[in-house]
Structure 1
Amino acid sequence: MAYALFYQDAKLSKAYPTEADVWKLARKSGLVVDATSDDEKASPRPVLDNDYEIRPCQLDPDEDPAKNKADADREARLEPKLSS
């Protein structure tokens, strides 16, 4: 089963092997915010901003989720790191 980022019914990302891979992409893209409820004030949980969703998806023809993940991991390693 492959997963992707969606807004309403539009698939916004490539397909990835796991839901965790798409969460990583969404976090890197600034689409994840911390939300709290009255019961969770001490530990906020991450949620997607603006009604984005991560859900199972159909693969496009010739799409390879493992290759998409490898490409994203390689790009992340090549990006310059900003010092704080």
Structure 2
Amino acid sequence: MPYALFCNDAQISKAYPSESDVWKLAQRSGLVVDVVADDERPGPRRVLDNGYEIASCQAAHGEDPAKNKAEADQQTRMDQQTRMELELNS
């Protein structure tokens, strides 16, 4: 079952093969915040910003969650390479 990012019950991302893939997308988008530990859980824990959630979904007709993941991974690699080049050139 694929997963996606939702805001106020509306799907706002493409479908991805796993929940962890959507967590990575949310992290890159700045939607993950660390919350101070409570008595039940030691250390900070990751949570989504208010109004956002990750849930299982149906892929849209013709949508391929594995292809979405591959494209997101490629974009991440390109972004990392660009940052490295900028750092080297500064």
TM-score, scaled to structure 2: 0.84
Q: Are 1:66 and 2:60 counterparts?
A: no
In the TM superposition, residue 59 of structure 1 has moved relative to its aligned partner by 1.0
Matches within 5 A, 1:3-42: 3-39=3-39
Question: Runs ≥4 in structure 1, deviation > 2 angstroms?
Answer: none
Structure number, greater radius of gyration: 2
User: How far apart in 2 are the matches of 1:17 and 1:41?
Assistant: 28
Q: How many residues align?
A: 83
| Contact 2:35–2:47 (CA under 8 A) maintained in structure 1 | yes
Counting aligned pairs with the same residue, the percent is: 60
* Unmatched 5+ stretches in structure 1: none
Structure 2 Cα separation of the partners of residues 64 and 14 of structure 1: 9
Which whole-Å CA distance do the structure 2 matches of 1:20 and 1:31 have between them?
Answer: 14
Instruction: Name stretches of at least 5 consecutive residues in structure 2 with no aligned partner.
Output: none
Alpha-carbon distance in 1 for matches of 2:78, 2:37: 37
Q: What TM-score does the superposition give when structure 1 sets the normalisation length?
A: 0.90
RMSD: 1.6
Structure with greater proportional helix content: 2
Which shows bigger deviation, 35-44 or 74-83? 35-44
